[in-house]
């Protein structure tokens, strides 16, 4: 009979894995190093995460809380609250560097790309709910495709955090959200 997975060991390895990916990036991220730093045996790590990439994605996913889904009564208000809560994530230099590193590594590694896509899909829930409510209330076009809208909704924040990270702190959130809404309704 297999031993039950230890939640204490899982918490230790994930905390260590998150610290490791944020400090060393993808190239410095190994199961051996997570094991060494956490004191959790490699066999235990592999029982929880069958591949290094699954551990890597769980580590980066665990670096930030899943955003909540605000319900202010309006699409605009929900977007403003949502982005006010996630803007610090975009501004975090270590998290931004690790995310870029994972994007680049995923371009070369199909297994990592699949794991990363799965994580991103799981995190799209709050925006999908906001989008669906906006459509139901007639605040945005009913025939607008969510994935296309997602590109426009997240785009300004991702581009700014990747290309002009110094400008994240001066982002006029209200103006940005208003422009997003205009684009979605054209």
Mean pLDDT estimate for the chain:
88
Q: Does 1 have pLDDT greater than 70?
A: no
Looking at the domain assignment, is residue 70 inside a domain?
A: no
Q: Which residue has the higher pLDDT, 106 or 166?
A: 106
Percent of the chain with pLDDT over 90: 45
Tokens of 87: 């803007």
Question: 12-17 contacts: CB < 8 A, separation 24 or more?
Answer: 12/38, 12/39, 12/40, 13/38, 13/40, 13/44, 13/45, 13/48, 13/49, 13/55, 14/58, 14/59, 14/62, 16/40, 17/55, 17/56, 17/58, 17/59, 17/62
Tokens of 21: 């990916």
> How many structural domains is the chain composed of?
2
Give the global pTM. Answer: 0.78
57-103 pLDDT per residue, tens: 899 888 887 888 999 999 999 999 998 888 887 788 888 888 888 88
Looking at the domain assignment, is residue 1 inside a domain?
A: no
120, 89: one domain: yes
Looking at the domain assignment, is residue 67 inside a domain?
A: no
Considering 37-51, 101-115, 155-169, the range whose residues carry the highest mean pLDDT is 37-51
Domain region containing 25: 7-61
Q: What CATH code is carried by the domain that includes residue 125?
A: 1.10.357
């Amino acid at each position: 009979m297999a031993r039950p997975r230890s939640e204490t060991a899982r918490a230790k390895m994930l905390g260590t894995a998150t610290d490791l990916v944020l400090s060393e990036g993808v190239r410095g991220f190994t199961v051996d190093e997570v094991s060494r730093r956490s004191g959790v045996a490699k066999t235990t790590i592999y029982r929880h995460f069958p591949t290094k990439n699954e551990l890597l994605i769980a580590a980066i996913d665990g670096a930030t809380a899943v955003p909540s889904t605000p319900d202010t009564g309006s699409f605009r208000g929900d977007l403003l609250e949502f982005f006010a809560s996630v803007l610090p994530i975009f501004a975090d230099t270590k998290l931004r560097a690790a995310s870029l590193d994972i994007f680049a590594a995923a371009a070369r590694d199909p297994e990592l790309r699949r794991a990363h896509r799965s994580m991103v899909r799981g995190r799209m829930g709050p925006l999908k709910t906001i989008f669906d409510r906006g459509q139901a209330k007639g605040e945005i076009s009913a025939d607008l495709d969510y994935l296309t809208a997602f590109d426009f909704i997240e785009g300004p924040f991702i581009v700014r955090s990747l290309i002009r990270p110094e400008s994240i702190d001066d982002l006029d959130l209200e103006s940005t959200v208003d422009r997003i809404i205009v684009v979605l309704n054209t």
